[in-house]
Amino acid sequence: MSVERVRRFGTFEGVFLPTILSIFGVILFLRTGWAVGNAGLLNALLILIVSEFISLTTALSLSAVSTNIEVGTGGVYYIVSRSLGIDAGGAIGIPLYFSQAISVSFYILGFLESVQILRGVTFDFRLYGTLVLLLFAFIAYKGADFAVRFQYLIFAFLLFGILSFLLAPGWAPRSVNLTPHYIRGYNFWKVFAVFFPAVTGITAGIGLSGELRDPGRSIPRGSLLAVAVSTLVYALVMFKSASVAPFDLLRGNVGIFIESARIPFLVVLGVWAATVSSALTFIIGAPRTLKALADDGIAPSFLASTMGSKRDEPRAGVIVTFLIAEAFILLGSLNSVAVVITMFFLVTYGVSNYSATIQALIRNPSFRPRFRVHWLFSLAGFIGTLFAMFLISFYASIIALVLISLIYLLLKRRGLHQTWGDVRAGIWMSLARFSLLRLEEEEIDPINWRPNLMVFTGNPETRLHLARMAGWLSRGNGIITFFNVIEHSCDTPHPAREKELARIREFIRNNNLDAFAEVELVRDIWEAIPCIAQAHGIGQLYSNVALFGWGDSSEGEVNLLKAVRRLVWLNRDVLILRYDVERGFGEKEKIDVWWGGKGGNIQLMLLLTYILKLNDEWKSAEPRILKVLSPGEDRKRVHAEIREKLYRARFEAKIEIIDPGEGLIKDLIGRYSSETDLVILGLPVPPEGTEKAVASRIKNLLAPLGTVLLVRSVTQKEFFLQEG
């Protein structure tokens, strides 16, 4: 069965009409005069201006974002999810849907209450509420075309009611009504909090976003026209209210509108139209929000079913919305949730403004809206919305924000897949750019040194020990990059390069590492490593430490030492991990650091030890500093000097001073550290032509030991606290 094209509504019936009907709720008749009676006409107009400014900025933000994308079904949820991502969209969309569904019952009960008050009759709210809901559900199930035609009738009743009041005689505001006469416990801002929900509803007009012929034109035009018309009408109603009765009657007599009207019954019809209009708007919009959630995989897919509709009507959503609204009608009272519902709508306003602000600020080239709005307007709307939320109800605001945060975290854990790009990457890109430029202006002090590691792992799955060591050292808030350097001509693409890159990234994800992946094509690996070291990084944020594994072949060891010498010339620190396959990292209980006492090598060795102990796996390890006395050195003095340096470094370790007469250095290292889980030694830089001999000495030195980390430091660190 083919589905008829659903984009069939224009600006008036698709956006303006549902928006204005939502804004002209029952509060237009029941709270406008009350606001004037309390705050006075001048302050009431100021409250209106502030309230409508928040609505205006939201309309502007939605206009900007909606003219930058092809808007589909789902209204605000669709716009937010396509801007901030599926997780943020879902966190807004789920509570927004329930708020829309519950609002249907809220306004139906409000309609019945107004009938009871104005006509002086008593009836069963549950029975008649169910009957009205069934009528509205039938209208929504029948389709948006039928619902829009019904909205024309409601709009006519509403318009006649407003005109009947405005066209009554008397347009001279009473002087006593110009100034405030607050009832006990109220002030300007409390009156604002009561009145503000009257002018909300700006997002209701884009509930039919997926069925608009031209959403990019209709949403801005319809929304802004609705804000302009509603502002004018509310201002006229306030002005008229100040003319028809003194403040004490305005504050307490709900029927003053009816009594002052030219044709009172038309105002009664207007009040009823105002309540049912909002209910009808939400029973049309809510199923479309639910369908969009289901289409994106946030809600079960069956909720997107059109159940045979030729016009793609969300009929499954209508049924679910009916059931939710009916449940709350049967409860009989919505006072306990009314304020929280308002909070969810206001959060939607805030997020809409936030989305427009962020997209304008980060200046993504893809953000090219036909309707341009300066980011200051959107930011003002965002701040104003938060202000209004907490002014209306601090606790309800907290509840709404906590619920939305929990939904966001749950959706994040589900790992939902989205098929569209969003603004989040652009946010991080802009922050990274800003930070890098600020960092470039700073002189990097040794006290701020941290290990930014180039880890030459090849395929990290085959050298897991290197990846684990890098992961532990990243606790020093450094940056890790895993490199797989492949010998291949740069003149032609390597067929497996992208596959290798994807494999490393998958390894990083599977092992929960904070790292980057790189695959480089080079003609000669060992010649390319210094070039890679020079080129990797941006400005002050460059890779300052290279981590290698000790090779298995004599040729590889020689080439590695040649690379070490070149990296040292390039002012890069070098770490080489000789991993003992049989012993691994042992029990991670003992770390031996052999103190040479010359240059800055020991600072890096101790700093790496400290960083290792930041990890849960190494936190119980006992570091030991071993120092072989040089000829003429005094044991007690050397011990005291090392202890003093460790104290200044806020680093605790056992100190062991060894007499040189006990044997050769390599024998002493083997004797004292053969059972240690990790030994940290200084790495010599071989003069050119001596690499083979130095490699042989290192191999003999490492033979009796377990896993060893060789360290060569050339950059300045500030591990020991300097005096003064």
**Local confidence band at 424 (pLDDT 50, 70, 90 cut-offs):** low
Residues in Cβ contact with 43 at an 8 Å cutoff, skipping those fewer than 6 apart: 180, 188, 191
Same fold, 11-414 and 581-724: no
Joined together, the tokens standing for residue 548 give 């290698």
Q: Domain segments of the chain: what residues?
A: 11-414, 445-549, 581-724
Binning the chain into helix, strand and coil, the percentages to the nearest 5 are 60, 10, 30
Averaged pLDDT for residues 374-389: 92
- Element of type H or E holding 400: helix 394-414
How would residue 276 be classed by pLDDT, with cut points 50, 70 and 90? confident
User: What pLDDT digit, counting tens, does each position of 546-577 carry?
Assistant: 999 998 888 889 999 999 999 999 999 999 99
Give the mean pLDDT of the chain.
85
| For residues 342-348, average pLDDT | 84
Core vs surface per residue 539-550: b (16+ CB within 10 A) or e: eeebbbbbbbbb
Choose which CATH entry (3.40.50.620, 3.40.50.2300, 3.40.50.720, 3.20.20.70) describes domain 581-724: 3.40.50.620
Return the CATH number of 11-414, one of 3.90.1200.10, 3.20.20.120, 1.10.150.20, 1.20.1740.10.
1.20.1740.10
Pairwise pLDDT comparison (613 vs 88), residue with the higher score: 613
d(CA 522, CA 401): 52
What is the average per-residue pLDDT within 499-525?
A: 87
CA–CA dist 58, 65 (Å, integer): 11
pLDDT at residue 420 in the model: 58
- Statement: residue 2 has pLDDT above 70: no
pLDDT tens digits, one per residue of 229-274: 999 999 999 999 999 999 999 887 767 778 888 898 888 888 888 8
**If you write DSSP's letter for every residue of 200-246 in order, what string do you get?**
--GGGGGTTGGGBS-HHHHHHHHHHHHHHHHHHHHHHHHHHHHHHS-
Structure-token pair, residue 10: 């224009």
Region 328-341: mean pLDDT is 72
pLDDT value, residue 3: 43
pLDDT of residue 163: 93
What's the mean pLDDT in 66-74?
79
Q: Domain 445-549 adopts which CATH fold? A: Rossmann fold (3.40.50)
Say what the pLDDT of residue 495 is.
Answer: 74
Structure confidence at residue 335 (pLDDT) = 61
Bridge-partner residues for 455, per DSSP?
482, 547
Mean pLDDT of 484-513: 83
DSSP string computed for 536-594: SEETTEE--EEEEEPPSSHHHHHHHHHHHHHHHHTT-EEEEEE--TTTTTTTS-EEEEE
Q: Is 319 exposed, middle or buried (0-12, 13-18, 19+ CB in 10 A)?
A: middle
